[in-house]
Structure 1
Amino acid sequence: MDTECTAVTSHSSRSRRQVPEVRIHQNPHCPLENRIDQNQERRPPPNWRTNMKADEKLNICRKYYIAGFFLLPIFWLVNFLWHYREAYQEEQFEEQTQIKNYVFKSGVGFLIWAVALTFWIVYFQTQRYYHDWDYLTFNFPTGSP
């Protein structure tokens, strides 16, 4: 495997007075450790959590909490997952109590939505023949009850 991942050099055609041109070809399927650019510094991508101020985090958390009330509970889930660390695992800071409040309410709101939606789906699917609710759907299942 190591012989396949080494760089291969090829010389282009040279005339009498020209310096030969060397091209380096690399296998794109080789692991990154075996590539030539080992000396380059590899940095992780910038993390938005460390680059943002606490008041900006609070503003985003509040906006996601409010967006959940517009029948978009996925915003509550994202808000809970993104800001849980700042709310409950980071060192104390001034805006942390407000972020905790929004994160907790977002988590509870998403759970209520998830339970209500699950209940409705189960109820609708099990009772649609009894109440003749097939006209409410866009797809018409075939078969008997």
Structure 2
Amino acid sequence: MIPIYKHRKAIKLPRINTLDCQQEEMGHKGRQGQITMNLERVSAEEKVKLCRKYFYVGFFALPVVWFVNAVWFFRDAFIKKDPPPMLRRYVIYSTIGSLVWIILMVSWITCYQSLRPDWGAVGDYISFNVPRGEL
């Protein structure tokens, strides 16, 4: 029961778990009520749907989702026999997308850290923390 305080009186409401349906189909409950995903119990169609969702979410500047997608579904796409072709495609695209993001971020950070003092005021304007003094 979850207590809700209204006018200094506690009203007890029953706790509702809205994910009970999905737990039966896709996974099981872990320790302390955490929901864990067991990919062995999920059908190939559901794996492709989930992989596709993660792939499209990665376009919203979330390259870590692409990385998780590639790691999570790698075994199903490349090691197991007869993988769905779309699953393999989404895993490859997620890997390529995360690698491109990593390369872009590392090159930007390297360029910014090494050339910021040479940029003068522009380098200071795009900085969150401006270091004082000279190196």
Name the TM-score, length of structure 1 as normaliser: 0.64
Q: Which residue of 2 aligns with 1:14?
A: none
Question: How many Å separate the matches in 1 of 2:54 and 2:60?
Answer: 10
Unaligned runs of 5+ in 2: 1-29, 31-35
The correspondence for 1:48, drawn from 30, 34, 38, is: 38
Instruction: Report how far residue 47 of structure 1 moved.
Output: 5.8
Corresponding position: 1:59 with 2:55 = no
Partner letter of residue 67 of structure 1? V
- 1:94-128 Cα shifts (integer Å, max 9, x gaps): xx211000000100010000000000000011111
Question: How many Å separate the matches in 2 of 1:104 and 1:137?
Answer: 35
Stretches (4+) displaced over 6 A: none
The correspondence for 1:110, drawn from 70, 74, 98, is: 98
* Structure-2 change in CA distance of 1:118 and 1:78 (3 Å): same
Q: Larger radius of gyration, structure 1 or 2?
A: 1
* Structure-2 change in CA distance of 1:91 and 1:127 (3 Å): same
Question: How many Å separate the matches in 1 of 2:68 and 2:42?
Answer: 18
Aligned-residue CA RMSD (Å): 1.4
Question: How many Å separate the matches in 2 of 1:47 and 1:134?
Answer: 46
Please identify, of 133-142 and 111-120, the stretch whose mean Cα deviation from structure 2 is larger: 133-142
Q: Which residue of 2 aligns with 1:18?
A: none
Partner letter of residue 79 of structure 1? N
Question: How many Å separate the matches in 1 of 2:44 and 2:106?
Answer: 36
Unaligned runs of 5+ in 1: 1-44
Partner letter of residue 92 of structure 2? F
Name the TM-score, length of structure 2 as normaliser: 0.69
Q: Which residue of 2 aligns with 1:21?
A: none
The alignment of Structure 1 onto Structure 2 pairs a total of residues equal to 99
Q: Which residue of 2 aligns with 1:122?
A: 110
Question: How many Å separate the matches in 2 of 1:136 and 1:49?
Answer: 44
Q: More helix per residue: 1 or 2?
A: 2
